[in-house]
Amino acid sequence: MDDTLEKLIKLQSVDYQLKSIQEKMGNLPDRVLSLEMRIKEEEVRKVQNVERIKQNEDIVTKSQGKISEYRAKLEKYEEQLYLVTTNRQYDALTAEIDYAKKQIEEAEAEIKKSRDESKELEKSKNRADTMVESFKKELEAAKSDLEKTIQETREEKNLLEKERLEITKQIPRNILTVYERVKKARHGIAVVPIVRDACGGCNNKVIPQKRVDIYKRNKIVTCDICGRFIYSDGDNLTVDK
C-alpha cells in the first residue's frame, strides 16, 4: 500500500477516535459558555436596575423639594390675594397661583411615575437574583460534568494527539492540507474505503480507471464527488454522509 495513503488511513482512525471523545462531552462546553453569558447578562441588568432606582430616588427627592417650594409660594400668593386692590394685581397673583399648582401637580406626577417604575425595577432585580442563583447552580453542575468527562478522557486524548502529531509529520503538506479541508467539510471523515465499487462516503460509483488504482492500493485516489480519499481495505468506518 502507498505509504502516504497508509498514513492517511491511520490519521483518519486517530481523528475519528478524537471526534468520539469530543462527542462524549456533548453540548456541555456550549452549555457552560451559555450559562456564563446568561449570568453576566442578568448581573449587568441588575446593575442597570439598581442605578435606575437610584436615579428615581433622586427624582423623588428633587420633586418633593419642588413641591415644598411651590406650596410655600402658593400659601403666600393666596394670602396676598386678599390684599390686592386692583384687577391687574389680582390677575397677576391668580396666574402665579395657577402656575404654582401646575408645578405641584407635575412634581407629584413625577414622583408617582418614578416610584411606580422603581417598584417594577425592584421586581425585575429580584427576578434577576433568582435567575442568577438558578443559573449558577446549573453552571456548577455543567462544569462538574464537563470536568469529569475531561478527566476520564484526558489520558486517551493526550496519547491520540501525540500520535496524530507524529503521523502528520510523515504526510506531505499538500496532501495534509487537502485532508484537513475535506475533513472539515465532510463531518470529520476524509478517508473512506471503497464499498461495492462506490465511495464509502457519498456512495457514488467510482469510475473504472480509479477503481483499478484503488484496488491496487499503490496510488492516492480521491472521490470525484465528495473529495474524500478512497482506499481498498477491510476496515469499515462509520461515515456521516
- Each residue's pLDDT tens digit, 86-126: 999 999 999 999 999 999 999 999 999 999 999 999 999 99
Q: Identify the CATH number of the domain in which residue 57 sits.
A: 1.10.287.620
Angle between helices 28-81 and 87-169 (to 10 degrees): 170
Q: Which residues, other chains included, contact 176 with Cβ-Cβ below 8 Å and sequence gap of 6+? A: 168
Give the max Cα distance, the chain.
Answer: 123
Grid cell of 162 as nine digits: 501525540
Q: Which residues, other chains included, contact 236 with Cβ-Cβ below 8 Å and sequence gap of 6+? A: 193, 200
Please, are residues 93 and 73 in contact by the beta-carbon 8 Å criterion? no
Answer yes or no: do 211 and 121 share one domain: no
Answer yes or no: do 96 and 68 share one domain: yes
d(CA 66, CA 108): 9
Reported as a single tens digit per residue, the pLDDT across 58-94 is: 999 999 999 999 999 999 999 998 888 899 999 999 9
- Identify whether 68 is part of a domain: yes
Answer yes or no: do 124 and 183 share one domain: no
Answer yes or no: do 123 and 38 share one domain: yes
d(CA 217, CA 211): 10
Domains contained in the chain, number: 2
Answer yes or no: do 140 and 177 share one domain: no
User: CB atoms < 10 A from the CB of 146, how many?
Assistant: 16
- Identify whether 9 is part of a domain: no
Answer yes or no: do 181 and 123 share one domain: no
Domain that holds residue 218: 173-231
Q: What is the pLDDT of residue 23?
A: 87
Q: pLDDT tier at 240 (50, 70, 90 boundaries)? A: very low
Q: What is the pLDDT of residue 239?
A: 39
- Give 238's Cβ-side CA count (13 Å radius): 4
- Identify whether 10 is part of a domain: no
Higher-scoring residue by pLDDT: 179, 237: 179
| 238: region left, alpha or beta (phi > 0 left; psi from -120 to 50 alpha) | beta
Answer yes or no: do 119 and 180 share one domain: no
Answer yes or no: do 42 and 97 share one domain: yes
Please, are residues 1 and 217 in contact by the beta-carbon 8 Å criterion? yes
Query: What's the mean per-residue pLDDT of the chain?
Result: 92
- Identify whether 208 is part of a domain: yes
Backbone angles phi, psi at 192, to 5 degrees: -135, 155
Answer yes or no: do 138 and 90 share one domain: yes
Answer yes or no: do 108 and 201 share one domain: no
- Identify whether 140 is part of a domain: yes
pTM tops 0.85: no
Q: How many residues in the chain?
A: 241
Answer yes or no: do 147 and 179 share one domain: no
Q: What is the pLDDT of residue 215?
A: 92
d(CA 181, CA 203): 20
Answer yes or no: do 144 and 183 share one domain: no
